[in-house]
Amino acid sequence: MAGRIVEGLMVMLFKPGGADKDRFACYDRRAKVSDQGTGRRKIEKDIGNLCKRDRIAILVDATRNGQPCVSRRLNQRLSHPSFAADNTNARHDLPDPCDLCFMRVMDDIRNIMILTGAGVSAESGIGTFRDADGLWEQHRVEDVATPEGFARDPDLVLRFYDMRRDHIQKAQPNAAHWALGHLDSAWTGELLIVTQNVDDLHERAGARRLIHMHGEHLSAWCLACDARNQWRESLLDRPACPSCGAAALRPDIVWFGEMPYRMDEIEAALRNSDLFVSIGTSGAVYPAAGYVQTARYYGARTLELNLDPSQGNVMFHESRMGRAGDLVPRWVEEILG
């Protein structure tokens, strides 16, 4: 056991009934491992709902006094025997840390959720908008990305989004977009790409299983009839809504203080995913920034592909740093290969 690594936030699994038929400890997603700071680990139970998916647990030593591991059971990622039905005296062992790399057990990954951010589109010439000084294209966020800013100066907001809409239509998908489009067409399991981006580059690269949680530049929302219509022209001159004729269109963008779209579907995908991948996002904007923690809570493996470590980097099982146009095609080839 000496020198083995235990992640303090790793969700551990025990079946509520206790030991299984052959008296080996079984699993349950309602337990996790926490470091108490005293050289001991403790198994905390009853922190969540039992997951429906069956997967062999990786369990840890509850006392650091475990007997030598039975090699056959370790190879199968099973624990040492538990001689009490409630697992209270179970002694467990961890495999080598490299065994935790999900790429080694890819055969049990069926459902994938991917979160993409501005870093995916940056190589297509679409800026991340928000600079280090907090400005978006030289405008304060409060002025161009809030309902209050729109009410205060609608012309400024409409002019800003007209510019962005025009720019997006001239941009082209890059290698990361094309790789994810290929994954969408080739992956036979469940797949959902949730993007924080408001461009249409994922769609142009072939992605179909896609949610724009923050809205779309190429869509206009009518405040009079609540209709949303595809839109490529200017909104500054207050054109009529195609659905009701009212001059009440605004950009179909989720601004700060507004609820992201299709949250129920996103939550369901997180709950059912075997693998969660975050690509090109800073991890600074919620609720998307919390998805990695939610995915881990439900038992998914987690991977970050990013130019720099995100604010939630410590929550990922694996991180790969570099340009999205380099990392994403390699990862897609790896998972499909």
- The residues carrying an active-site annotation are 214
Preceding amide of 287 cis, omega within 30: yes
- For residues 169 and 176, what is the distance between their CA atoms, to the nearest angstrom? 18
Q: What one-letter code names the amino acid at 65?
A: N
Residue 305: its H or E element: strand 301-306
- For residues 316 and 337, what is the distance between their CA atoms, to the nearest angstrom? 23
CB-based contact 92:60 (threshold 8 Å): yes
Locate tokens 């609720």: which residue?
Answer: 287
Residue 301: its H or E element: strand 301-306
Give the Å distances, CA to CA, from 23 to 74, 76, 79, 81, 87: 15, 15, 10, 6, 10
CB-based contact 213:204 (threshold 8 Å): no
- For residues 113 and 277, what is the distance between their CA atoms, to the nearest angstrom? 6
Residues 254, 258, 260: CA angle, nearest 5 degrees: 60
Locate tokens 């790969």: which residue?
Answer: 320
Concatenating the DSSP letter of every residue in 196-238 gives ---SSHHHHTT--SEEETTEEEEEEEETTT--EEE--S--TT-
| 331 exposure class (CB count in 10 Å sphere: 0-12, 13-18, 19+) | buried
